[in-house]
Amino acid sequence: MRIPNLLGHDSPAEAVQQSASWLPLLARECHPDARIFLCSLFAPICLDRFISPCRSLCESVRESCAPIMSCYGYPWPEILRCDQYPADHLVCISSITNASVYTGARGVPQASCRDCELEEAFSPKETLESFCKSDFIVKLRLTRLKYSPVSLSQFSLAGKLEVLKRGTLSDGQIHSRIELWLERDATCVQNMTRQHPRGGTFLVTGTVQGERLVVNKAYAWQKRDRNLTAAVRKWKSHRCRN
């Protein structure tokens, strides 16, 4: 990579540090070309001259990702102003996604300001129905690594996972993908631990999307929560309706 890069970082260490703040946005998969766009800025190819992202690539990523950023109070930064990048007919990095397929078949992602939050287990029956709709169910313990008000991901797994539902995945695959979720989906983890700043035990459920686990429900594991403990106890013999 060329140093300084296109964002003015003077060392690889500075580039790595500054790029970490973009990981939660990438985890939201707001645009399929968001990663190549950011990589072209943070780690430009080491050639005789800079190869910038094309203006259209910047505009496409901005259109999809800026609404997600605004959910958390962050505007599209001035340093990434799209009109500073070259037009597509010049030498630049263009989109690697087929635009017609992306906008036609899938549609441009819509902003969603809702991340996973701690749920309340209302009744064993309703909780079991939610379990049936999930691809995986895992009980895990999180522990805080260190306190830093500017850090997004501050927790690690403590102890062994208890896998209640694995679908087609092995326990090893679930463990490695839960670690990846913990690293990348910092916003979800932050919401889960807002009332548990030192960590704790949680029951999480969600779906499998390719190589990723997406957590969509989380419960704080407390023995006095009779609805949740009853649902977990009944789950061992429960049969889901097709």
pLDDT in tens, 20-60: 888 878 877 788 899 999 999 999 999 988 999 999 999 99
Q: Where are the domains of the chain?
A: 12-106, 124-235
**pLDDT band at residue 62 using 50, 70 and 90 as cut-offs:** very high
Instruction: Give the model's pLDDT for residue 97.
Output: 67
Residue 223 tokens read as 């023995």
Q: What is the tens place of the pLDDT at every residue in 173-230?
A: 999 999 888 877 767 887 888 888 889 999 999 998 887 788 889 999 988 899 999 9
Q: 44-47: long-range contacts at Cβ-Cβ below 8 A with a sequence spacing of 24 or more?
A: 44/1, 44/2, 44/5, 44/6, 45/1, 45/2, 46/1, 46/2, 47/2
In this prediction the pTM is: 0.60
- Superfamily in which the 12-106 domain is placed by CATH: Frizzled cysteine-rich domain (1.10.2000.10)
124-235 fold: OB fold (Dihydrolipoamide Acetyltransferase, E2P) (2.40.50)
Q: What is the tens place of the pLDDT at every residue in 111-148?
A: 456 668 888 888 999 999 999 999 999 999 999 876 54
Q: What is the tens place of the pLDDT at every residue in 91-106?
A: 999 987 654 444 433 4
